Chain A
Amino acid sequence: MIPLLVAALLLVLMGIAYTQGFSRSRAIAATGVRLHSRPAYHGSLVAIRCLLPALLVLGLWVLFGPGMTRAFIVAQLPPDVAALDEPAFLTAVRRIEAIASGFGVAGQVQPYEAAAGEAVRRFHTFALLVVMAAAAGVGILGLLAALRRISPTLRARNKVESVVRVLLLACSALAILTTVGIVVSLFNEAFRFFSFVAPADFFFGTVWNPGFATTGTAAIGEYGLLPLLWGTVMIAIIAMLVAIPVGLMTAIYLSQYASARLRNVAKPIVEVLAGIPTIVYGFFALVTVGPFLSDTGAAIGLDIRATSALTAGLVMGIMIIPFVSSLSDDIMRQVPLSLRDGSLGLGATESETIRRVLLPAALPGIVGALLLAISRAIGETMIVVLAAGNSPVLRFNPAEPVSTITVTIVNQLTGDADFAGPQSLVAFALGLTLFVMTLLLNMVALYIVRRFREQYE
């Protein structure tokens, strides 16, 4: 309700400011003077100059409002409560906040609490009114000031353009800062983990056997990354062995041989594979592919476990086929048709043309697509949770169950672990490892793709 009101207020202010600025500059233009900027820019500039101060006031309230409310609540507390120790005191404050916001609290409401809650509510309403009035006030002031400054020589266009630039910059900064924030917290928690387990034991340990401490937060058991890393890599390799040939051949067929009509039907169908939720792939692997592999293995005398690196890798490979085929198809169709004509015109066959001209020309882009697919495979979770067997042991036989980094993160974070012990903190170290791996792959991929782009410009 309140946010809606504020938004409506701001919109109305903005509308008024814009039309005022627009008609004022129009009026000046009507006298025959040549304006530096068109009326629309003058209108926008007035709107900006009206809106910015108002937003500033609201921003200040968002920043300092909660602190002021807290101070007000503390002032309402009877002296005996105010003298309580830290946790009890905080509980009292929270109870009053809850009463004031109308959510209610558990247990008996003390009279002083009810009174304080009422007071806080009144304070809140009052403060909001004041803030909105102040925002409207400075907005109107800004509007008036901006209107007075309208003149034929005012460079409104340039000013509006620079505001737009700052706005765009702010949006991209937000995206980047979020990423940075996630990475920083990842690092932070990972470092806390490394205060329990030495980095060397983590990165080069060959045994994964984290004990569950019943008391305290000491590191019990062994936290060796290598079995998990190897499981991840092995499954990714199996997946790529499936996805690269099938995906590339699909791409070559779609881009070079298929008619436009067939391609328009077939490509979306292949892409549907990418839209299937990974959990569905997971139980497909668990229920169908695993038993099938194990039966087939038994028939030819091989011991293949139903949940194994092979099962998970196979299904994951199927999942990333559309990544490979769709991206590669796009890339191969970016290669100019004239190159293909040039080769065919010299009497090369279709497949010679593909092998000697199109694939080399598209190769960097295709490698980029493959790397993106690999990083997708490495980060994939649901399929391996269900189908890889969850056995964090260093094994080299793909027919045996393994575990991966992602599976282990899930394992360590589910359950009632608190975030103080190494048992759950290790998830952050694992997450960091995963993040660095995919980051490196993506960077290499982007670099290669960019180099490819330059070739035809």
Chain B
Amino acid sequence: MTVSIPPDNTGAPHAPVSASAAGPAYGETVRTPDTVPRDVRLRARHVDVFYGDKQALFDVSLDIPEKAVTSLIGPSGCGKTTFLRCVNRMNDTIEDCRVTGEITLDGQNIYDPSLDVVELRSRVGMVFQKPNPFPKSVYENVAYGPRIHGLARSRAELEDIVVASLRRAGLWEEVKDRLREPGTGLSGGQQQRLCIARAIAVSPEVILMDEPCSALDPIATAVIEELIDELRLLYTIIIVTHSMQQAARVSQRTAFFHLGRLVEEGPTEVILRHPQAKKTQDYITGRIG
């Protein structure tokens, strides 16, 4: 069984889709027919990423719908974080990292030289794989973003933002008495939730979450998943996860990466229950990974 659809082959046996219905097929990615997202917020086309001479992403094309959660799954080192960092141009900070191809947000190419990276990042927030609270107090950590962007006109307003963000990240009860203590003194899971609170405090339109629950216990995980569900109503969310169950619980669409290639993408139920590509089947059933 071949897993690839040549871009111009509309008559492939297992993907009898007309180009107009599914849109053009990009690269070798298997795309579930008839489910191409409608309100596409973020569009990646032929994205290649190189770290020095080493290529980490190969010809990735992916549409991310608005007001939905897209999860990225795949074995370790397959390029999930790399793809995520392309979306808010965090890869710019890595010196020998090079990105080619096109990524558009609301139709605007984010790699356009005239684009303001700082403005982009305030609209596309990110929660990193490893918790990275600033060596400041818990309060200051969350207040950092709103301060920089002047989101609060008064002290009280700032305080409201901080408290609300901490509440939504499910951290408020644990830190309400230690807002002045350093954020680096929290436990690993608390730090991760602090970073989530910090990211949502600036109300980004797109939120990138890199394994946000990897250090959390089931209860905290449930809180974060609830938060994601709630944020989905307003924002566009991409989440990286190693847990198929989590992908099933929180996401509407799923993309499976393997060795730097986007192997298959489509509605979460399809990818998890009836994957088309052999590699996806192997990964879902635990044979690779």
A residues in contact (CB < 8 Å) with B: 259-260, 336-349, 352, 356-357, 360-361, 455-456
Whether A345 touches B121, Cβ cut-off 8 Å, given contacts A338-B128, A356-B144, is yes
Residues of B within 8 A of A361 (CB): 134-135
Find out whether the CB atom of B118 lies under 8 angstroms from the CB atom of A347: yes
Find out whether the CB atom of A346 lies under 8 angstroms from the CB atom of B95: no
| Binary flags per residue of B39-61, CB closer than 8 Å to A gives 1, else 0 | 00000000000000000000000
Q: Shortest CB–CB separation between residue B280 and chain A, in angstroms?
A: 30
The interface residues of chain A, by DSSP majority, are classed as helix
Determine the residue in chain A with the shortest Cβ distance to B141. A342
Q: Shortest CB–CB separation between residue B45 and chain A, in angstroms?
A: 24
Determine the residue in chain A with the shortest Cβ distance to B131. A338
Determine the residue in chain B with the shortest Cβ distance to A357. B134
Q: Give A407 to B123 CA distance when docked, in angstroms.
A: 61
Residues of B within 8 A of A356 (CB): 144, 148
Find out whether the CB atom of B88 lies under 8 angstroms from the CB atom of A345: yes
Q: Give A456 to B132 CA distance when docked, in angstroms.
A: 11
Find out whether the CB atom of A346 lies under 8 angstroms from the CB atom of B122: yes
Find out whether the CB atom of A346 lies under 8 angstroms from the CB atom of B199: yes
Q: Give A210 to B134 CA distance when docked, in angstroms.
A: 57
Whether A336 touches B132, Cβ cut-off 8 Å, given contacts A346-B122, A346-B202, A347-B118, is yes
Q: Give A2 to B240 CA distance when docked, in angstroms.
A: 74
Q: Shortest CB–CB separation between residue B157 and chain A, in angstroms?
A: 18
| A342: contacting residue among B88, B95, B119, B134, CB under 8 A | B134
Within 8 A of A (CB), among B64-97: 88, 90, 93, 95
Determine the residue in chain A with the shortest Cβ distance to B120. A347
Q: Give A343 to B132 CA distance when docked, in angstroms.
A: 10
Whether A455 touches B93, Cβ cut-off 8 Å, given contacts A341-B128, A346-B122, A347-B121, is no
| B202: contacting residue among A340, A344, A347, A360, CB under 8 A | A347
Chain A-chain B contacts (Cβ-Cβ < 8 Å), number: 68
| B130: contacting residue among A338, A346, A357, CB under 8 A | A338
Whether A260 touches B95, Cβ cut-off 8 Å, given contacts A346-B125, A346-B199, A347-B145, is yes
Residues of B within 8 A of A341 (CB): 90, 93, 128, 132
| B119: contacting residue among A338, A343, A347, CB under 8 A | A347
| B90: contacting residue among A339, A344, A352, A456, CB under 8 A | A344
Can you report 19 residue pairs joining A to B where beta carbons are below 8 Å apart? A337-B93, A339-B132, A339-B134, A340-B93, A341-B90, A341-B128, A342-B128, A342-B195, A344-B93, A345-B125, A346-B121, A346-B125, A346-B148, A347-B145, A347-B202, A348-B144, A348-B148, A356-B148, A456-B135
Residues of A within 8 A of B135 (CB): 339, 360-361, 455-456
Q: Shortest CB–CB separation between residue A243 and chain B, in angstroms?
A: 27
Rank and list the top 6 A-B pairs by shortest CB-CB distance, nearest first: A347-B122, A338-B132, A347-B121, A345-B126, A346-B145, A342-B132
Within 8 A of A (CB), among B123-153: 123, 125-126, 128, 130, 132-136, 144-145, 148-149
Q: Shortest CB–CB separation between residue B142 and chain A, in angstroms?
A: 11
B184 near A: Cβ within 8 Å?
yes
Determine the residue in chain A with the shortest Cβ distance to B122. A347
Residues of B within 8 A of A259 (CB): 95
Q: Give A177 to B53 CA distance when docked, in angstroms.
A: 55
Determine the residue in chain A with the shortest Cβ distance to B182. A455
Q: Shortest CB–CB separation between residue B181 and chain A, in angstroms?
A: 14
B168 near A: Cβ within 8 Å?
no
Q: Give A205 to B281 CA distance when docked, in angstroms.
A: 89
Determine the residue in chain B with the shortest Cβ distance to A340. B93
| Binary flags per residue of B16-46, CB closer than 8 Å to A gives 1, else 0 | 0000000000000000000000000000000
Q: Shortest CB–CB separation between residue A143 and chain B, in angstroms?
A: 57
Q: Give A357 to B60 CA distance when docked, in angstroms.
A: 34
Determine the residue in chain B with the shortest Cβ distance to A349. B118
Q: Shortest CB–CB separation between residue A7 and chain B, in angstroms?
A: 52
Task: Identify which of B119, B144, B149 gathers the most chain A CB atoms within 10 Å of its CB.
Answer: B144
Q: Give A360 to B195 CA distance when docked, in angstroms.
A: 19
B198 near A: Cβ within 8 Å?
yes
Find out whether the CB atom of A347 lies under 8 angstroms from the CB atom of B134: no
Residues of A within 8 A of B93 (CB): 337, 340-341, 344
